[in-house]
Amino acid sequence: MDFSPATAWWIAAGVLVALELATGTFYLLMLALGAVAGALAAHAGGGLTAQIVAAAVVGCGAAAAWHAKRMRGPAPAPAEANRDVQQDIGRTLHIGHWHDDGTARVHYRGAAWSARWAGAGAPAPGEHVIVAVDGNLLQVEKAPPRG
């Protein structure tokens, strides 16, 4: 069985896509696009050098463009304050008493939690919103007035 150069490029593209699915590294998809460009260059009758150049330019160019796009966007919040990671961020709870060190014990989601004041000024009893979760410590601020 004899493989043509285009077949080798298509196999490389398939392997890169499979690796991306296994690892979740989006950059591998950009390199798979480069392998597709190499396959198309082979189908067009280009020599090995043209195939490699096409694969390198498209693959590396796509990876560089994706990297530049990601760098221009806002930085993601740290995991402890990221709503995509912590389901509790933005939830409200009632705190009836604060300790002198800026902590409190609260009943939240059926369990006792420790809470730490993360807002400006001194903490006061009342409704608070969770702004971060650090292990089993809820960092809270005063909830905005409802209205």
Q: What is the CATH number of the domain that holds 105?
A: 2.40.50.140
Tokens of 62: 């796509």
What's the pLDDT band for 1 if we cut at 50, 70, 90? Answer: low
22, 40, 72: which is the final residue of a domain? 72
Higher pLDDT, 73 or 93: 93
Tell me, what's the pLDDT at 12?
A: 97
Query: Into how many domains does the chain fold?
Result: 2
**pLDDT by residue (tens digit) across 22-48?**
998 889 999 999 999 999 999 999 999
**Residue 40: which of 55, 29, 56 has the closest Cα?**
55
Coil, strand or helix at 117: strand
| 84 and 125 fall within a common domain | yes
72, 95, 128: which is the final residue of a domain? 72
| 105 and 48 fall within a common domain | no
What's the pLDDT band for 60 if we cut at 50, 70, 90? Answer: very high
Q: Is the pTM of this model over 0.75?
A: no
Tell me, what's the pLDDT at 147?
A: 63
CA 147 vs CA 102, 123, 143, 144: distances in Å = 28, 22, 12, 9
| 90 and 58 fall within a common domain | no
CA 38 vs CA 2, 5, 113: distances in Å = 18, 9, 57
| 15 and 60 fall within a common domain | yes
**Residue 112: which of 89, 133, 79, 138 has the closest Cα?**
138
**pLDDT by residue (tens digit) across 132-147?**
888 889 999 998 887 6
Coil, strand or helix at 146: coil
Could you tell me the residue range of the domain that residue 36 belongs to? Answer: 5-72
What residue type is 100 in one-letter code?
D
Tell me, what's the pLDDT at 2?
A: 76
Q: Report the chain's mean pLDDT, rounded to a whole number.
A: 90
**pLDDT by residue (tens digit) across 111-137?**
899 999 998 888 889 999 999 888 889
CA 128 vs CA 41, 76, 87, 89, 107: distances in Å = 61, 24, 16, 11, 13
Token pair 């809270």: residue: 140
Coil, strand or helix at 88: coil
| 83 and 117 fall within a common domain | yes
| Residue 25: CA count within 13 A, CB half-sphere | 11
Q: Domain for residue 147, yes or no? A: no
| Sheet of 92-95, strand order | 92-95, 126-134, 137-142, 111-117, 103-108
**pLDDT by residue (tens digit) across 74-92?**
877 776 677 777 788 888 9
| 89 and 66 fall within a common domain | no
